[in-house]
A and B are shown apart, each in its own frame.
Chain A
């Protein structure tokens, strides 16, 4: 796999949480109560047996620990870094109810999986060839998890992606202080190490091959193509230089170079986690002031409170209940003209004000790509999302979907869980069992 540029912009970031040493890991592992039917497991979309993997760290069985993690979640290494553990496993730790610091589950998981990667431990082998062949569209976590599980069952897999980069948003979108792109590529390599997963990049499924050709050439199709481009604001001045879609900007930062050293006033528009990531990233890249503009309130934003807390500590500020109505400038953006909004997010006339801005990142969402497959009979698409059942099955036989294109945009851990679940359903279908 092609390695990426070592001088790319994301490399200025250090780990925000940092790894545990072996000694620290054992001390932390020994604090775990080893709960039975543990709430942390329930809170994990992949239901990793967390008490078990932590106990194994405490006994020095790090190999067994990593196996427990990766058995449940093949993306255990990246999820340890990128999961919002504060609202998942760590947030559910029973110690919280005792007023005792919760177990640092993410850091322990990172420890075990990093040791496994460093030692080249592998736990899974491809099953005996079944002669079945599954196509997976999109090379992000959903497809990779699905393909890995399918390989354990012995089904051949081909992953198609339009772009040259594998790993999806795990490679191109994760905040670099959580994980850099090269670490995502390490994981992709580890997952593909099971063998028998062909990855074809630069392939625009729907055009060449067509959906009909893809369907005809495979025994099943998994759709894991994620989300599309950044949603534009649709206001006057959006064509000015210095205005970016946040996802596009982040990808450029992670894989190439961005320069914000000359930026005096950076503005991020939005209240979701991409907006919060972008805010922290701009601060870290060296923008002199970074302002989050959100039309809702701090309490109502969909971004995680712990992320905003960290952004505020980093030095970002926020303007709540502000709605951009126009980008002002000559060739380059100079300011964002806003209106105050009320508690129902309605603009209040006459409250216009300008926020100085020489860089603006728009983070108000990404395009839903359901339309790509809308033409296929039986496939239902609602608000741009592919409609699936609990196993990822679509209305059209042989078609399954998971990850952002089906869930509308969630965490890596959700995509991985959905991909694996779909693989089990696909296997049941291919082996003639009812997948109901």
Chain B
């Protein structure tokens, strides 16, 4: 029997799927519906001095007919009266005592932090999330990513929150930094119980080529927004992994960034996330997506023999290392399954134009041939092939033992001859 209940920094929920602090978590009515659909927790849309929002606020990136593989927004924190928010937090917590309600906060002065934390906890918050990530609007007012980009400010404000809070405090980190690690360590220094990342990435989602106005258009002009959605997942995975494998860190992580389904969630957990937060896919498809997420995660854990989330969290972290630690003598070549090949020759053109010119096809031949003596094992062909399992990367026994670049520098151990480097 698989147990998918989650515990992220002391915040417990029936499953690891939380709504991120964003439009889907804007009100009590929404969050209660989300809980009815199966969401395990919700990070309430950031509370602070209510703001005035713009029309329009969102933009999407389409690719080869697929809509919204990336998404951005220029919406700010809550625009609703704090009284309404706190009342609804209270009502929701009363109705859903086992679900996690984390309240996202963003204010300026120490006194404001003290007041809003008290009100959030009084309303029933199970945890707090400090919004140090918003990359548009709020940062111009000295909040959001303006805090998240300054480790000392981050540590200081975190320490205020931890001082005033009786519930766990997560710090939400901005990805708009060169290296995430010092910022995670700053949150730890401030006493945070965990971090959540990533917030959105500073972006211009697109430009209207007829009106010359970037999206989203506000009365003929636009501004940079926060990029999110499936396309940012690789950036988020890297930042989650970078903190998870940092020896001096060790805090629980709530993973965020382009999670659309249970597979994505599993990837975040394997790289060290204790819970995952979702916004964009809910905005695009609704709360109902959680049903598949719960089923998919449960089946995956059963198939892998994981009894609890702790059995799987971080399992990929030891396998994420520096380039210099990878085995330079490991060699693969592409193998094409002639029975599966449909003859599209995308591998041929990809190898010709984008790689090492080692896949050839005769005139009127369906199945290309890999020149294994020249194949560098880059696996571009495998990635471009439309047929699952048609191209595989086969390991070559070249007689050379494992040697990383770092070992090579240290010991002078010999490296295999380079291929296709003539």
| Residues in chain A within 8 A of chain B (CB atoms) | 26-27, 29-31, 33-39, 42, 58, 94-95, 97-98
Contact = CB atoms under 8 A, between A and B. Distances in A.
Closest 10 CB pairs of A and B: A30-B65, A36-B349, A36-B345, A97-B342, A94-B342, A35-B344, A94-B344, A33-B344, A37-B345, A30-B64
B62 to A, nearest CB: 10
A37 B366 CA distance: 10
Interface of B: 64-66, 342-346, 348-349, 361, 364, 366, 386-387
Contacts of A27: 65
A243 B364 CA distance: 47
A35 B346 contact: yes
Given A94-B342, A97-B343, A36 B65 contact: no
A35 B65 contact: no
A58 B346 CA distance: 18
Contacts of A97: 342-343
- From B344, B349, B366, name the one whose CB has the most chain A CB atoms within 10 angstroms: B344
Given A27-B65, A30-B64, A58-B64, A39 B387 contact: no
A35 B345 contact: yes
A38 B364 contact: no
Given A33-B386, A98-B387, A39 B65 contact: no
Contacts of A31: 65
Nearest to B352: A36
Contacts of A94: 342-344
Contacts of B346: 33-36
Contacts of A98: 342, 386-387
- From A38, A39, A95, name the one whose CB has the most chain B CB atoms within 10 angstroms: A39
Contacts of B348: 36-37
Given A35-B343, A37-B345, A58-B65, 12 more contacts: A26-B65, A30-B65, A33-B346, A35-B344, A36-B344, A36-B349, A37-B348, A39-B366, A42-B364, A58-B64, A94-B342, A97-B343
Interface SS of B by simple majority: loop
- From A26, A42, A97, name the one whose CB has the most chain B CB atoms within 10 angstroms: A97
A33 B344 CA distance: 7
- From A29, A34, A95, A98, name the one whose CB has the most chain B CB atoms within 10 angstroms: A98
B386 A39 contact: no
Contact of B344 (A29, A30, A38, A58): A38
B389 to A, nearest CB: 12
Contacts of A34: 346
21 contacts: A30-B64, A31-B65, A33-B344, A33-B346, A33-B386, A34-B346, A35-B343, A35-B345, A35-B346, A36-B346, A37-B345, A37-B348, A37-B361, A38-B344, A39-B343, A58-B64, A58-B65, A94-B342, A95-B342, A98-B386, A98-B387
Nearest to B363: A37
A423 B342 CA distance: 36
A87 B307 CA distance: 55
A37 B348 CA distance: 9
B363 to A, nearest CB: 9
- From B342, B348, B387, name the one whose CB has the most chain A CB atoms within 10 angstroms: B342
A36 B66 CA distance: 22
A346 B160 CA distance: 102
A26 B366 CA distance: 28
Contacts of B364: 42
A95 B66 CA distance: 19
Nearest to A28: B65
Nearest to B65: A30
A98 B387 CA distance: 8
Contacts of B349: 36
